[in-house]
């Protein structure tokens, strides 16, 4: 009888969740905000506890799912009807790369470091920060990228030109610290690095927020701001 009860509760929970997703619609589920994520965790705990607690019956499962769905529906309705509530419930996109330069203040507010930014860019098939004109961190944690004109999707005329070899960018300096292994892997040395830094009027590694090197395009540097220097 215990297995039958668990089976019935699972079926009821499954059907309830299925109906809720149909009612909320695809758009709501496609854009999972931090608020939605937390709500989903709470719902999972409620349903999970209901399945293994003998004192909680099918009615509790249906009530938990229905109430959660109603609250989510109310939030979505309010964001559609009242523009002022969108920032509260959904947040707003943040520009993390502006005019080809990383906005470190925006990145700090969003708890986004360079490695996380690079990871998000690679998911958009962008392997170098220098290729980006604008990057926007969306409310669901994804990133939207506007590449610089020379890196944008080629036209038919561009495709008729001779293809160039593909080279991956190599990170040399990050947060004022040199990655000596990457420097060696690139076939470069400290003398070369210091020479290039001096060309950009930089005296110390600690004055560099981010530096990468690409074989066919050379060096790319983002300097530290005054308040970022150690």
Query: 171 falls in which pLDDT band (50, 70, 90)?
Result: very high
**Same domain? 115 vs 85:** no
Within a domain: 37: yes
**Same domain? 183 vs 146:** no
Within a domain: 161: no
CATH number at 200 reads 3.30.240.20
Q: What is the DSSP string of 60-94?
A: HHHHHHHHHHHHHHHHHHHHHH-THHHHHHH---E
**Total domains present in the chain:** 3
Asked whether the predicted pLDDT for residue 26 surpasses 60, the reply is no
Between 84 and 35, the more confident residue is: 84
Query: 27 falls in which pLDDT band (50, 70, 90)?
Result: very low
Query: 17 falls in which pLDDT band (50, 70, 90)?
Result: low
Domain boundary among 51, 74, 89: 89
Within a domain: 162: no
Tell me the pLDDT of the chain averaged across its residues.
79
Within a domain: 204: yes
Asked whether the predicted pLDDT for residue 25 surpasses 60, the reply is no
By CB atoms closer than 10 A (0-12, 13-18, 19+), residue 96 is buried
Within a domain: 30: yes
Predicted TM-score (pTM) above 0.85: no
Q: Which domain holds residue 204?
A: 167-228
Within a domain: 40: yes
**Same domain? 217 vs 177:** yes
Determine the average pLDDT of the residues in 189-206.
Answer: 92
**Same domain? 57 vs 19:** yes
Asked whether the predicted pLDDT for residue 90 surpasses 70, the reply is no
**Same domain? 21 vs 62:** yes
Alpha carbon of 226 to those of 102, 136, 173, 208: distances in Å?
15, 25, 17, 11
Query: 191 falls in which pLDDT band (50, 70, 90)?
Result: very high
């Amino acid at each position: 009888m215990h297995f039958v009860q668990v089976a019935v509760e699972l079926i009821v929970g499954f059907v309830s969740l299925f109906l809720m997703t149909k009612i909320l619609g695809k758009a709501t589920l496609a854009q999972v905000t931090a608020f939605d994520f937390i709500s989903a965790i709470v719902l999972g705990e409620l349903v999970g506890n209901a399945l293994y607690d003998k004192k909680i019956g099918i009615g509790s499962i249906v009530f938990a799912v229905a109430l959660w769905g109603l609250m989510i529906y109310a939030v979505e309705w309010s964001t559609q009807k009242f523009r002022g509530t969108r920032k509260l419930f959904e947040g707003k996109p943040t520009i993390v790369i502006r005019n080809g330069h990383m906005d470190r203040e925006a990145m700090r507010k969003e708890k986004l470091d360079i490695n996380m930014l690079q990871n998000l860019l690679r998911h958009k098939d962008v392997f170098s920060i220098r290729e980006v004109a604008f990057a926007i961190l969306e409310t669901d944690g994804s990133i939207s990228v506007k590449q610089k004109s020379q890196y944008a999707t080629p036209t038919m005329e561009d495709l008729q030109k001779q293809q160039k070899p593909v080279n991956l960018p190599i990170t040399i300096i990050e947060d004022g610290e040199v990655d000596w292994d990457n420097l060696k892997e690139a076939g470069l040395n400290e003398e070369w690095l210091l020479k290039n830094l001096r060309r950009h009027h930089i005296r110390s590694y600690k004055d560099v927020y981010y530096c990468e090197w690409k074989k066919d395009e050379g060096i790319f540097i983002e300097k530290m701001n005054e308040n970022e220097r150690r």
